[in-house]
Amino acid sequence: MCHVLVATETMTVSGSRDAHERVRGRLHRTLSGLGLGHAPVTALTFGGCSAVMTALEYAALLVEREPGGCVLVVAIGRMHAGDSRVLAPAISAIGDGVASCVVLAEGTGWRVRWMLRRAFLQTAEFDQAADFGPTLVVLGRALRSLRGEAEKHGLPDRPRLVCNNYGLPTVRLFSSTLGVPADDVFTDNISMLSHLGTPDILINLASLPETTTDVLTLATGPADCVLASLERTRSDPV
């Protein structure tokens, strides 16, 4: 059986029950056009830009339970009319985009070694439009804590760091807190695509050169951050 997991914030801001049902209807028609009209669908919306990592974690659990099945993970980032496309701190922009991947029990692609997360719901109390500093302090503390726990799980030698496409100063702050050299941070898509939200991580993984085999992914949202260690897998040649 194929499951579909949708990671997005779009469905949480539909405005009314009727509007939400219209969004659900468009999603069903789209999946039906792909031959997935009868696939179970789950939407993960609360984690913001980090929701895609939760989707990948849930997908891994599903294929572990049903090794012959698969999970289509779809990450959607879309702004609404009237939304500001300036990302605080005001040094980067927000775009629209979509990315997807298929999660299988075996195959070629990326395998998750471990995944760690920290929650910081207290940032909802901060006026981020006026001062983003308090949020960065809370996030920095979470990253330092994650770094210590990651060392216990085992870190690969010189992994590439893949983050959401925030501004370069923010990404560099993340890398220095995690102890990753600036040269090992993947930033190619920041100037080309800007910040797309939940699709960032999937697009950046697909953009890495084939020679990259070990990656740390850091996905940060308004409620939590997720750090994961991934390794590239390849099927044996026939």
In a domain, 238, yes or no: no
List C-alpha distances in Å: 94 to 80, 105, 190, 192, 198. 11, 34, 10, 12, 11
Q: Note whether 149 and 166 are same-domain residues.
A: yes
Q: Note whether 89 and 118 are same-domain residues.
A: no
Q: Note whether 119 and 63 are same-domain residues.
A: no
Q: Note whether 14 and 97 are same-domain residues.
A: yes
Identify the residue whose tokens are 């991580």.
201
CATH classification at residue 151? 3.40.47.10
Sheet holding 224-233, edge to edge: 109-119, 224-233, 214-220, 160-163, 185-186
| Residue in 156, 141, 146 with CA at minimum distance from that of residue 229 | 156
Last residue of a domain, one of 54, 83, 103: 103
Q: Would you state the pLDDT for residue 131?
A: 65
Q: Note whether 80 and 179 are same-domain residues.
A: no
In a domain, 163, yes or no: yes
- Residue 154 in tokens: 């085992």
Long-range contacts, 27-30 (Cβ 8 Å, 24+): none
pTM for the full model? 0.87
Q: Note whether 118 and 79 are same-domain residues.
A: no
Q: Note whether 116 and 90 are same-domain residues.
A: no
Q: CB of 194 within 8 A of CB of 93?
A: yes
Q: Note whether 131 and 229 are same-domain residues.
A: yes
> Distance between CA atoms of 224 and 48, rounded to whole angstroms?
9
* pLDDT by position in tens, the chain (length 238): 799 999 987 655 556 778 778 878 888 898 899 899 889 999 888 778 889 999 999 999 999 998 888 999 999 987 767 777 776 655 677 888 899 999 998 888 999 999 999 988 777 777 766 666 777 788 888 899 999 999 999 998 899 999 999 888 889 989 999 999 999 999 999 988 888 889 999 999 999 999 999 999 999 887 789 999 999 997 543 3
Q: Note whether 83 and 114 are same-domain residues.
A: no
In a domain, 91, yes or no: yes
DSSP H or E stretch at residue 63: helix 51-65
Q: CB of 98 within 8 A of CB of 83?
A: no
Q: Note whether 126 and 97 are same-domain residues.
A: no
Q: Would you state the pLDDT for residue 11?
A: 58
In a domain, 222, yes or no: yes
Q: Note whether 115 and 177 are same-domain residues.
A: yes
How, if at all, do strands 41-44 and 2-8 pair?
Answer: parallel
The SS3 call for residue 197 is coil
List C-alpha distances in Å: 86 to 41, 49, 83, 131. 32, 15, 9, 14
> Distance between CA atoms of 2 and 104, rounded to whole angstroms?
10
Domain interval for residue 200: 109-233
Last residue of a domain, one of 47, 80, 103: 103
Last residue of a domain, one of 103, 134, 162: 103
> Distance between CA atoms of 219 and 49, rounded to whole angstroms?
6
List C-alpha distances in Å: 165 to 25, 138, 144. 30, 19, 20
| Total domains present in the chain | 2
Q: Note whether 36 and 135 are same-domain residues.
A: no
